[in-house]
Every structure is written in C-alpha cells, then in structure tokens.
Amino acid sequence: MPKSLTDTTKLHNGVEMPWFGLGVFKVKEGSEVIESVKAALKHGYRSIDTAAVYKNEEGVGQAIRESGVPREEIFVTSKVWNSDQGYETTLQAYETSLKKLGLDYLDLYLIHWPGKDKFKETWKALETLYKEGRVRAIGVSNFHIHHLEELLKDAEIKPMVNQVEYHPHLTQKDLLAFCQQEGIQLEAWSPLKAGKLLDEPTISEIAEKYGKTTAQVILRWDLQNKVVTIPKSIKEQRIIENAEIFDFELTAEDMEKLNGLNKDERTGSNPDEFMVGFTE
C-alpha cells in the first residue's frame, strides 16, 4: 500500500506513476489553474492531470515551470479530444498539447473517450508516439470492457492506464477486475462524485471512526482498491487535506461497506452514449 504522496505504481512498461495526483478539469485557465497546480506541487504532489479540452494546458505548464520542481520529478498527463481522433490528427493534437504545456514530452497521453469508430486509428498514433520515445506511457480514458477488448484485438501495445469515473456509487467491479487481469492500471476521475458523496451517511460514519473527512475516506478507499486517484480542488487547504490519507488504513469490513454503496450511478456521461463530435 502507498505510504506517502510520492509513492508510485509500476505500469506494465516499468514506468512509475504516482498513486495520487491533482486533476484540473473545469479549473479556469490563468491564475486559477496556475495557483492550484503550484499549491499541489508545493505540498508534495508529483502528478498533474489535464486534457486538451480543459483549455488550461498553458497554465499547467506555466505552474510547472514556476514551481521550482524539476520536470523529471513530475508526472504529467494530457488527453486527445474526440474531434482530434484519427491517426494524423492525433499526432497533431499531441504536438499542440506539448506546445501549450511548453514541455518536451508527456508522461502519459490518453484517448479521452472511445467515441464511435476511430479509436483504433487514434491508438496507432499513440503507439507511434510511444515507440518514438515522445511519451513515456499511453492509455485510454472512459473505456468499458468491450472497448478494451476491441482495442486489444489489433493493438501492438497494451494500454498502460484506463482513467474512468470511479467512486463508491460507481464501483465498476468488473472493469476493475478486467484491467487488473490485463495489467492495465485503473485510475479514478471524479473520485468524490463531484462532491455529491460528501454527505453520504455511511461514509460520514466511517470517517468519524477514523477522525478523517469523508473525502479522505473515499480517496483512501481508492488506493486500497489499487486505483490511482486524482481529486480536483482549487483551494490550497483542500489540496493539502485531500492528500492526508497515508496515515491510516480502512479495515476490510469498512472497505466492504464502501464497496456496498454501489448504485451504478454516474455524474458524467456513459461512454457508450458519448460520441465523437461533442465539443464539451
């Protein structure tokens, strides 16, 4: 089990990825994203997750440069957006993201959504970037088991990561088992269900027992299920608090209680219904 904020999981290609990071979805470009990324890096975070469609890659890059933390110590993720899917367009999208971030390489590049029929071409582009040493690891986001099975039929390189909506109301047990069996690291976006889980009575009760916040209990549950997690916050105090989860361990019984809260309920879109061409 991870013992500190800098602890990593080894992806199937040997690259070390922090178990815990900062997500910047819906964090405004400019001072908001710059300050939140700098706060996270100042307090020991070493993983930052952005995406082309978040329109804040420039601010993320600026924060990294101003943080004083050496680039090679930071694990940076971005994602190719739906409208850029396809072989050539993905290669171009990667260059655009790098340019905006002001970086020479990414640590992880993901296909943001499976979309309808282009993700295999898109994956070929990611394989090219990986083989050329332009990116340290490649993966997917929002892929169901059937998308992964389809991708694996022709893939030369297996995705290293699958980043999906994951929280106690959406435990995705079969997907987690499938990814673990295939050596694909599952990563949680919206681990707190956009704040909707913070008043869940069962979680509050467990939190009280450990003297922790409901958010800390949920994030700890992620890690004990061997899921990488990237909670988002723009408040420095909350950024610090979210990461204070390495000094306690949930019992097997409490883990079961949390697993039992599943409702198959999403805060985001269902990947099967979210098709290429959307702009948001």
Q: Do 215 and 199 meet the contact criterion of CB atoms below 8 Å apart?
A: no
Q: Residues 45, 54, 94, 109: which is the catalytic one?
A: 54
CA distance 169 to 267: 10
Give helix 145-154 / helix 173-182 axis angle, nearest 10°. 20
Half-sphere exposure of 60 (CA within 13 A, CB side): 30
Q: Do 277 and 83 meet the contact criterion of CB atoms below 8 Å apart?
A: yes
Is 210 among the residues known to form the active site?
no
Q: What Cα–Cα distance (Å) separates residue 237 from each residue in 17, 41, 43, 104, 211?
A: 24, 13, 10, 31, 17
CA distance 65 to 60: 9
Q: Is the dihedral of CA 99, 278, 268, 184 positive or negative?
A: negative
Query: Which residues are catalytic, by number?
Result: 54
